[in-house]
Amino acid sequence: MDSVGLEPGDQIKVYVLQPENDEGNVVLSLRRARAETTWLVAADKQTDGSVMDADVREQNKGGLIVNILGLRGFLPSSQVGRAYAGTLESLVGRRIPVKILEVNRKRNRLIVSQKAAEDEDRARKREELFSRLQTGSTVTGNVSGITSYGAFVDIGGADGLIHISELSWDRVSKVTDVLQLGEEVTVKVIKLDPEQSRISLSLRQLQQDPWERLVQSMPVGSIVEGQVTKTKKYGAFLQVLPGIEGLLHISELSWDHVERTEDVLKVGETVQVKVIGIDTARRRISLSLKQLSAPPAGVVARSDQRADEYPDIEDES
C-alpha cells in the first residue's frame, strides 16, 4: 500500500476490470482509474478552452509527440506555432503552451495545438495593447513581414503596418531598401482601428520634415542643385533635398520653344535651377532653368510669374 501512497480508510476512485474473477473477487485498477480520470480532465480542458503546458518528447513525420497531463498527445505540424513552422526539431525537449483540440478516449487520440494557444495569447495582448495605445505615441517593435506596399511591425500583441509612403521622406522604390525582416525599429502610431484590429505606423514622421528645412534654406529666388528623377510631357521633376522634389515646367526649360522635355534633360542628370515658387500648404516647389540667364534680345521676361500659375498637376513625388 505504501508504494502507491495509500492508507487504510482512504477513499479512492478505482476502475472495475472484472466484476468477478475465478476466485469470486472484484478486480480493480487504481492506475486505470487515474488514467480514465485524466482523460476526463483532458475533455474538460478541451471544453473550456484552457491553455496548458505540454512537454515535447519527439518528432515524427506528421508533427510532434507531447506529454500533457501524463497522456501521450500529438501536435500536428500544421498546428505548430508560426515561429517554428519550419524548425519543428527545435521544440523537442521544450515545454510549450498548447490548447487541446480533440479528445477521443476510445482511440487513445489526443490532438493539441500550439498555434491556437499563441493566437489566444496574442488576442489578449492585442486587447491590452489597444487599451493603452494612443495615436501619436511612439513604440518599438520588430519587422515581422515585408510586402510590396509596406512593412508589418510586431509591437507586442499586434502587427502594425508602415505603408511604403510612410517609410521615409525620400522616394522609396523597395521596402527592403529601408527595412529588413527581424530588424528592430521605433515608429509612430498614426492611426488606430480597434474594430478592424488595424494599426497604422510611420517611420518618416519621427524624422525631420524636409519642408521645414526647405523654407529656411531655399527661399524663392535662390539657386539650387537638383537631380532629375523623372521626365513628363509637361516638364521634369528634380530632387532638390532628400524627400523633396520640385517641378521644372517645360515652359521654364529654355527661352526657346521646347517640344519634348527629354530634348533638354535626362533622368539622373544634375543641374542648377532657380526656385521661382514655394507652396508649403500643397507641398510644391516650382523651378526654372531658363531664369538662370537673361532672356535673349526681343524676348520679354515675365517678372510676375508665380508658381500657382502652372497647370494643376498632381505632384507625383
Mean pLDDT of 55-70: 92
pLDDT at 17: 60
Per-residue pLDDT tens over the stretch 178-193: 999 999 999 999 999 8
Is the pLDDT at 61 greater than 80? The verdict is yes
Q: What is the mean pLDDT of residues 103-111?
A: 89
3-state secondary structure of 127: helix
Q: What are the backbone angles phi and psi of residue 257, rounded to the nearest 5°?
A: -70, 135
Q: What is the CATH number of domain 15-116?
A: 2.40.50.140
In CATH, the architecture of 210-309 is Beta Barrel (2.40)
Mean pLDDT of the chain: 84
Pair 139, 202: CB distance under 8 Å = no
Would the pLDDT of 98 be above 80? yes
pLDDT confidence of residue 298: 65
241-273 pLDDT tens trace: 877 899 999 999 999 999 999 999 999 999 999
Q: Is the pLDDT of residue 307 over 60?
A: no
**pLDDT tens-digit readout, 132-167:** 889 999 999 999 899 999 999 999 878 899 999 999
Q: What is the mean pLDDT of residues 43-72?
A: 91
Q: Which of 167, 137, 138 is nearest to 152 (CA)?
A: 167
CATH 2.40.50.140 for domain 133-206, yes or no, is: yes
Question: Which cell is 230 given?
Answer: 523623372
Judge contact between 239 and 245, C-beta under 8 A: yes
How would residue 15 be classed by pLDDT, with cut points 50, 70 and 90? low
Report pLDDT for 207.
Answer: 87
Average pLDDT for 295-299: 74
Q: Where are the domains of the chain?
A: 15-116, 133-206, 210-309
Long-range contacts of 4-13 (CB under 8 A, 24+ apart): 4/30, 6/30, 13/37
Q: Which helix (H) or strand (E) holds 143?
A: strand 138-147
Indicate whether 114 pLDDT > 90: yes
Higher pLDDT, residue 78 or 302: 78
Is a pLDDT exceeding 50 seen at residue 67?
yes
CA-closest candidate to residue 54, choices 98, 16, 116: 98
pLDDT higher than threshold 90 for residue 1: no
If one compares 174 and 308, the residue with the highest pLDDT of the two is 174
CA atoms lying within 13 Å on the CB side of residue 233: 0
Please state, in angstroms and rounded to a whole number, the distance separating the CA atoms of residues 290 and 236: 13
Parallel/antiparallel/unpaired status of strands 198-202 and 159-163: parallel
Are the folds of 133-206 and 210-309 the same?
A: yes
